[in-house]
Amino acid sequence: MNHFLSRSPFVIALAFGALGAAGCQQNARVVTDDRDKIVSIDQIDVQDWSNAADQVLQQLFASGALDTAPVKPARVEVTRVINDTTQRIDTDLLTQKIKIALQQSGKVAFASSDARANEVADYEDFKAGDDAPRLPYFVINGKILEIRASAGSTKQSSFVFQLNLVNTAQSLDAWSGEAEVTKQGTRNAKNSKG
Amino acid sequence: MKSSPCLLVTLAVLLLSGCYANTVTSNQRISKDGWLSSHANIRVVRETEVSDDLLRIDVEVENTLPFDTRFDYKFEFLDAEGRMLFGPTTGFRQEQVPAGAFVTITATATDPRAADFRLTLTNAN
């Protein structure tokens, strides 16, 4: 009995620890609200891509640059978006959102990168005796950069998304836009309320 | 017995804060909750068109509180029949607004069918 009593504080602490750990666990759920998504300090979260795409799209539509094309919808190609951050990221997360929005607007049409589709289109052109290459009127390129700073235990990451719309007929930037997402804190948060 | 006034005050504060958080005001297009219901003054709503046919909304939100604060907002666009239009970048954004100052929040519809909008302003703290 004495032996049990001497060990009981340890057993009780263990039991409380197990209960505490079980209490901290959360069942998986589907998150649809951006405010409930995890906010990471040092990486681009899923909601950040949407935020950045929204910022550059608003700038692009307000500029009127898309309306300078002689034919609508103007043919567009996305050439390269350089990832100049420390993370391994797929830049399609940005360009696909921009592509969807621009296509929705009806102002541009994106050249397909599908090899089979291009092969069929080439054959149709050949049959029709049309040997003119399908050239884009606009090209989209860009860069994603990262700037880090810290003060004491507070860390800050800024991600800058730069995009250019190039008029290929004149080889001039018809529009250039930039979006920034900056996050600050001492640790990642479960949601936007911290 | 001494603690009962403190208890009453605490309960009153809790009750009031509960009511405050659940208050939602709406004018059909713009809905607000939390501190925004009473202290976010919508100064101007501008509806214009950019790039010929895309609806752009600018809303000036004034913070009448005596301290800096934050809020989340989301714009949604509807067609002429009131149907929600899909947008690849639709979602909540966060904005900070200094004490007594105002910020302008904007959104541009990506679909030329957009004829109306809905704005949700919600407490971010």
Q: Where are the domains of chain B?
A: 21-123
CB contact under 8 A, B51 and A105: yes
Does residue A77 surpass a pLDDT of 80? Answer: yes
Confidence of residue A61 (pLDDT cuts 50, 70, 90): very high
| A53 closest CA partner among A61, A43, A64, A41 | A61
Mutation pick from B89, B105, B122 vs chain A, by most beta carbons of A within 10 Å, is B89
**Interface residue B76 vs chain A (CB under 8 A):** no
Nearest CA in chain A to B57: A58
In this structure, the number of other CB atoms found within 10 A of the CB of residue B56 comes to 19
Among A100-104, A132-136, B7-11, B20-24, which is the least confidently predicted range? B20-24
**Interface residue A62 vs chain B (CB under 8 A):** yes
| pLDDT for position B20 | 46
Cβ contact B91:B43 at 8 Å: no
Does residue A4 surpass a pLDDT of 70? Answer: no
Q: How large is the average pLDDT for residues B34-59? A: 92
More confident: A175 or A11: A175
CB contact under 8 A, B111 and A97: no
CB contact under 8 A, A193 and B50: no
Does residue B1 surpass a pLDDT of 50? Answer: no
- Burial (Cβ within 10 Å: 0-12, 13-18, ≥19) of residue A120: exposed
CB contact under 8 A, B88 and A106: no
Does residue B26 surpass a pLDDT of 70? Answer: no
Q: How large is the average pLDDT for residues B52-77? A: 94
Task: Note the pTM of the prediction, 2 decimals.
Answer: 0.82
Residues of A numbered 115-144 whose beta carbons fall under 8 angstroms of chain B's beta carbons: which are they?
Answer: none
Tell me the C-alpha distance between A32 and A21, whole Å.
27
Tell me the C-alpha distance between A136 and A75, whole Å.
5
Q: Which long-range contacts (CB under 8 A, 24 or more apart) does A109-112 make?
A: A109/A73, A109/A74, A109/A75, A109/A76, A110/A75, A110/A76, A110/A77, A110/A78, A111/A75, A111/A76, A111/A77, A111/A136
pLDDT > 90: percent of chain A: 77
Please give the CATH topology (third level) of the domain spanning B21-123.
Immunoglobulin-like (2.60.40)
| pLDDT for position B21 | 44
CB pairs under 8 A between A and B: 72
| pLDDT for position B33 | 87
In this structure, the number of other CB atoms found within 10 A of the CB of residue A58 comes to 21
CB contact under 8 A, A34 and B89: no
Does residue A155 surpass a pLDDT of 50? Answer: yes
Phi, psi of A3 (to 5 degrees): -65, -40
The ipTM value here is 0.81
CB contact under 8 A, B106 and A58: yes
Reported as a single tens digit per residue, the pLDDT across B71-99 is 999 999 999 999 999 999 999 999 999 99
Phi, psi of A144 (to 5 degrees): -120, 125
3-class secondary-structure state, position A84: strand
Q: Closest Cα of chain B to A103: distance in Å?
A: 9
Does residue A11 surpass a pLDDT of 90? Answer: no
What is the overall mean pLDDT for chain A?
Answer: 90
Does residue B15 surpass a pLDDT of 60? Answer: no
Cβ contact B41:B61 at 8 Å: yes
